[in-house]
Amino acid sequence: MALLDTIGNPDDLKKLGEDEIPQLAQEIRDFLVSEVSRTGGHLGPNLGVVELTVALHRVFDSPREPILFDTGHQSYVHKMLTGRQDFSKLRNAGGLSGYPSRAESEHDFIENSHASTVLSYADGLAKANELQGRGDRTVVAVIGDGALTGGMAWEALNNIAEGKNRRIVIVVNDNGRSYSPTMGGLADHLATLRMAPGYEQALDLAKVALNRAPVVGPPLYDALHGLKKGIKDAIQPQIMFEDLGLKYLGPIDGHNEQTVEKALRRARDFGGPVIVHCITQKGKGYAPAENHDEDQFHAIPKLDADTGKAKSAPGSVKWTKVFSEEMVELGAEREDIVAITAAMLHPTGLAAFAEAYPDRIYDVGIAEQHAATSATGLAMGGLHPVVAVYATFLNRCFDQVLMDAALHRQGVTFCLDRAGITGDDGASHNGMWDLSILNVVPELRLAVPRDATRLREQLREAVAVDDAPTVVRYPKGEVAPEIPAVGRIGSMDVLRRAADGGHSEDLLLVAVGPMAETCCEVADRMAAQGIGVTVIDPRWVKPLDPALVAEAAGYSVVAVVEDNGRVGAVGDAVARALRDADLDIPVRTFGIDQEFLDHASRTTILADMGLTPQELSRKLTETVSRHTERSPLADEPAQS
């Protein structure tokens, strides 16, 4: 019987002998490669934390002592060790989430998949333990080295260091990468530590007291801190963690389970905040991942487990690829264009730009706030920065977009990949908020391309603006089919025009970006029932073209279909524009319900929201019927 089959909870894990752990680790890796290659998901990060996660659950008493993961994409092994080994529907409706999920298990305290937040959770939980008399419990926070580039992590460390008797163990999972190689001064510092494996031993020789008493309390540690600092400064560059007043253990081999266990037990027994620095290898044990220079199979589609080759449809073109190619073209035409990424060079499509123009790319780490304000500074200096982030991560730098880029009227272009429903990564990754939050920003201009041609055109239009921030948003996955315009109304494209001689003024249907394909099918269905529908693509949804209001005046009903939360987005903006013009025209808005959506495919979620041609046609036919006071089939000949 396989050892993995005997593990139903962490207590079962604790019963294994030390000699059985290597076999278990291999079984876990085999399971991950086999299962995740069938479904897609975060493979590389989980292969890198097998021994580390096993050690965590052998040392700590989860869920009594919560184990928190940042960003959460490395929690598959944790799921397997806490009773969740059915990965057959991973990240699909009814299956396991790709991140920790409070609905799945009591062992999941936080549903964390936005980076650099776990230390703040840990600080709060440790303070709660202190105030409520649970001083014997330890809070464990596992944070990747990439997540430590985020400013929020350092805000938390500043507070954690203050609580000398609060039991927090911070495990730094240091693989030199987040999505891509970790950038910045912190990365350089950690690399220095990794290059000096004899540092801990050398320092221990000079700390006889600590060698004789490996488990010491905060008072003795504080007394020795000054002496230790002088010793270590002579041997090794300053360890910033200890300079904060935090006990530091490491660096240690994160793939030697027994070494990790010993370090974790020592950290647990210390009685105050401790950092355990573990060196791991992303993709460990699976050659295709280890040899994949781009990101060690950080997040994979379905693939052939034997070869590591993706099973994607031949000839498919991704939105990110279109953006990537156009950025390279723009870079060749304009030397003032620079690009910024927040630790996602490859996922956002900026790798090609970086290769072509290595002096004009800035990876700021997982620091979206800094990215936005630094971009504002670049614009003030006479350049035009393009900041490429996932739409969901723009939420993290809203204040900087508002009060830095927009207030100063600087030409910064934000390109939002994975806008709208992304689906399988769950609630935290759906890019369904940006159209709502950006609509309140004065002067900002916002484009939503419907296909690849429009993405290229509107990206060029965006970078031509130098007196206000611009935003271009596009979804995850394959580009929508090309939909040529059949006419123009102001700056807007007409995609379908109601047939002459019929009821040509029934419905004006406003299609926002990639929802254009759906809206055109809706128009075709309704036209077959004698309903006149004109479909327009506004292209730029902020500010709305005044021609939209003038056009709407000639219709019985206006409807807006968008891939965003319904509150405060394009539909609300259209309704407000009509009210401001004193036009008493009913407006129907179709979008995403304002709720945190369970993980499922994009297609499934859109269907659940009623954003399919069939459901939209039905609802809009009923609406038009009510407001025109006639049956939608009144003009059809009677059936014999």
pTM, entire model = 0.86
Residues whose CB is less than 8 angstroms from the CB of residue 290 and which lie 6 or more positions away in sequence, other chains included? 281, 283, 284, 296
Residues whose CB is less than 8 angstroms from the CB of residue 484 and which lie 6 or more positions away in sequence, other chains included? none
Of 421, 441, 613, give the one whose Cα is nearest residue 526: 613
Q: Is 408 annotated as a binding residue?
A: no
Instruction: Give the separation between CA 241 and CA 492, rounded to whole angstroms.
Output: 55
Instruction: Give the separation between CA 352 and CA 350, rounded to whole angstroms.
Output: 6
Q: What are phi and psi of 572, to 5 degrees?
A: -65, -35
Q: Is 121 annotated as a binding residue?
A: no
Residues whose CB is less than 8 angstroms from the CB of residue 571 and which lie 6 or more positions away in sequence, other chains included? 560, 562, 587, 589, 590, 591
Instruction: With residue 101 as reference, give the H or E element that holds it.
Output: none
Instruction: Give the separation between CA 611 and CA 423, rounded to whole angstroms.
Output: 14
Instruction: Give the separation between CA 78 and CA 51, rounded to whole angstroms.
Output: 11
Residue 637 DSSP class: P
Summarize pLDDT for 357-416 with one digit per residue, the tens: 999 999 999 999 999 999 999 999 999 999 999 999 999 999 999 999 999 999 999 999
Answer for the pair 386, 340: CB distance below 8 angstroms, yes or no.
yes
Q: Is 73 annotated as a binding residue?
A: yes
Summarize pLDDT for 457-502 with one digit per residue, the tens: 999 999 999 999 999 999 998 998 999 999 999 999 999 998 654 4
Q: Is 175 annotated as a binding residue?
A: yes
Tell me the domains of the chain and their CATH numbers: 3-196+236-287 (3.40.50.970), 319-473 (3.40.50.970), 487-628 (3.40.50.920)
Q: Is 173 annotated as a binding residue?
A: no
Terminal-to-terminal C-alpha distance of the chain: 71
Token duo for residue 279: 């060196």
- Count CB neighbours of 603 within 10 A: 11
Q: Are strands 533-537 and 492-496 parallel, antiparallel or unpaired?
A: antiparallel
Summarize pLDDT for 545-569 with one digit per residue, the tens: 999 999 999 999 999 999 999 999 9
Token duo for residue 454: 């429009």
Residue 401 DSSP class: I
Summarize pLDDT for 580-617 with one digit per residue, the tens: 999 999 999 999 999 999 999 999 999 999 999 999 99
Summarize pLDDT for 32-62 with one digit per residue, the tens: 999 999 999 999 999 999 999 999 999 999 9
Instruction: Give the separation between CA 125 and CA 116, rounded to whole angstroms.
Output: 16
Alpha carbon separation from 86 to 31, 90, 131 (Å, rounded): 10, 8, 39
Which residues participate in catalysis according to the annotation? 282, 368, 396
Residue with tokens 């089959």: 5
